[in-house]
Amino acid sequence: MAPSHVLVPLDGSPLAADALDDALELFDCRVTVLNVVTPLDAPMSEGGILGADEDRRESARDRADRIVDRATDRAAESDRRVETAVRTGDPAAAILEYVDAHDVDRIVMGGHGGERGRVARRLLGTVATSVVADAPVTVTVVR
């Protein structure tokens, strides 16, 4: 059955952009892009290493806004429209919470956060792994 609402989590990586392209091409339905800002005091965030302050919080929020704005522009190039959302929290948990709260029936996401070091790639890949394991809907992972 074709989905009626697709969620595309975006982290700014090329694979996430590919996931958006695939979702727009494959599904003629409502598409929402979601960026999750990891709290700056979380151990896995930049703030956990460098210390959280208001400038860093504002910078992280600005980056999230740029990511969803680029997605809106990218969709417009294909004569499509996307809804946008930005949340704060653990990425996998925030994605799953969004699915439950907004009648999402398909997730299309990148397999990992992009071209980074081996350790970062493995850590970022755990978001997709967690979503695939716990999602109550079909998940398409773009690699």
- Distance, CA of 122 to CA of 100 (rounded, Å): 26
pTM attached to this predicted model: 0.84
Report long-range pairs for 62-65 (Cβ below 8 Å, ≥24 apart): 63/12, 63/37, 64/35, 64/36, 64/37
Q: What percent of the chain lies above the pLDDT cut of 70?
A: 80
- State the DSSP H helix or E strand holding residue 96, giving kind and residue range, or none if neither: helix 91-101
- 8 A C-beta contact, residue 107 and residue 9: yes
Q: What is the pLDDT of residues 111-141, one digit of tens each?
A: 865 444 455 445 446 889 899 999 999 999 9
- Distance, CA of 36 to CA of 50 (rounded, Å): 19
Top-ranked range on mean pLDDT: pick from 36-45, 95-104, 115-124 = 95-104
Q: What is the pLDDT of residues 50-83, one digit of tens each?
A: 455 678 888 888 999 999 999 999 999 999 999 9
Average pLDDT value for the chain: 86
